[in-house]
Amino acid sequence: MTKVDFKDLDLEETKTWVKQCGHKAYRAEQIRQWVFRHQTHSFDKMTTLSKDLRNYLKSHAYISQLKTAKTEVSVDGTKKFLFELEDSNSIESVLIPERDHYTACISSQVGCAMGCTFCLTAKQGFTRNLKCSEIVNQVIQIRKSMDQPDRLTNIVLMGMGEPLANYEAVARAVRNIIFPDALNFSRRRVALSTCGLVPEIERLGKELPVNLAVSLNAADDATRNLLMPINRKYPLTQLIEALSRFPLPKGRRITFEYILIKDINDRLSDATHLTKLLKTISAKINLIPFNHYQGSPFEAPDEGTILAFQDELMRNNFTAMIRKSKGCDISAACGQLRTGL
C-alpha cells in the first residue's frame, strides 16, 4: 500500500482521507496542526491523537522532508539552497533579504519546458513537476534555517519551472501556504509568476486569491516570439485580454516583469509600445537588467538606457521600478537557477 504524505493534501483532502479510514473528520485538523504548526515528523509526538490512531498513521502515512544538499551565501546576504528530492533529482530555492523582511523564491518544477532563450533554467530542460509537498517543504526548510523565521513574510513562486504548467500541485501548495490551519502566510504576500499560460491564468483568477506576476519581456509579438516560445501559442493579444479580465482586489495590480536585454527590447520605442500594450490593465512594471551567465549571447543595457526606459514608462503614468538582482555572485538571481551541472 502506498503511504500518503500529509503535506501533499489540503484540508478537505485530509478530512476525506481520515473519514475513509474510519475516523472523525476533526482529526484532520489536529493532524495538520502537528504537521504544519509544530512541524513534527513523528506520529508518536502527536499526543492529541489516540495511540491507536497514531499507530494507524505510522502504517499508512508519512511526513516528508527535503534534504539540503548544499547552501551558498552571497556577499549581499542572499542564500541559495540546493534541495535533493526523494528520487535524487534536485531543485534550487533562494532566500532574499529585503529592508525589513525576507522573501523566499521557490521552485515548482525540476527544470522548465518553456524554453525562454534568456533563462539558464531553460537550458537544463524539463524533468518533472514537483509535488505539493516538495513545493511546501521548500518554505518549511528555508524558514527552519533562519535565526529569525518570523521575518520570512513573502513567498514568490518564481524559481525553477512554470508554476501554471503544474497547476494542481501548485494550487494545493498555495492553499497550504496561505490557509490559517497550515503555514498561514498572508495571501497578499504570496505571488505567482507565469510566462503567460492563458487558460491557467483565467482559472487562477477564479480559484486562488494570490498576486499575479507576468514575465512579459517584450511589447510586440516578433520580439516576444524570439525570447519566449510560449508567445507563439498564446500571443500578446490573447494574453492581454486574459489579464484584463483577471480579478483584482481593490488597490491591487498585476506585476509585469520586463528583463532588459541590450539591443533586443531596450529601445525607447519598446517602452512606448509597452505603455500602449498595458494601458487597459492595472499594472506595475519591474525592470530587471539581464543577469548574464556563461555562454549567453545576451547582455544587459548600460545604465543610461535603463534609466531612459524607466523614464518613458513613468512619463506615461506607470509605476516602474528598476530591480537590482541579488545573489548574482552565487547564480541565485532571476533566470540563473539551474541544477544537475
Positions marked catalytic? 92, 334
For 262, the grid coordinates are 541590450
Q: How many other CB atoms are found less than 10 A from the CB of residue 279?
A: 12
Beta strand extents in the chain (DSSP E only) = 4-5, 61-62, 67-73, 79-84, 90-97, 102-105, 109-111, 126-129, 152-157, 190-194, 211-215, 254-260, 283-289, 319-322
Q: Retrieve residue 151's grid coordinates.
A: 521575518
- Retrieve residue 150's grid coordinates: 518570523
- Give every CB contact of residue 103 below 8 A, 6+ residues apart in sequence: 95, 96, 152, 153, 154, 155, 156
**Type and span of the H or E element at 19:** helix 11-20
From the list 173, 87, 86, 158, the residue with the least C-alpha distance to 121 is 158
Distances (CA, A) of 177 to 85, 93, 143, 170: 20, 16, 12, 10
The span from the CA of 278 to the CA of 181, in Å, is 38
- List the one residue out of 305, 245, 250, 258 whose CA is nearest residue 284: 258
Phi, psi of 97 (to 5 degrees): -80, 130
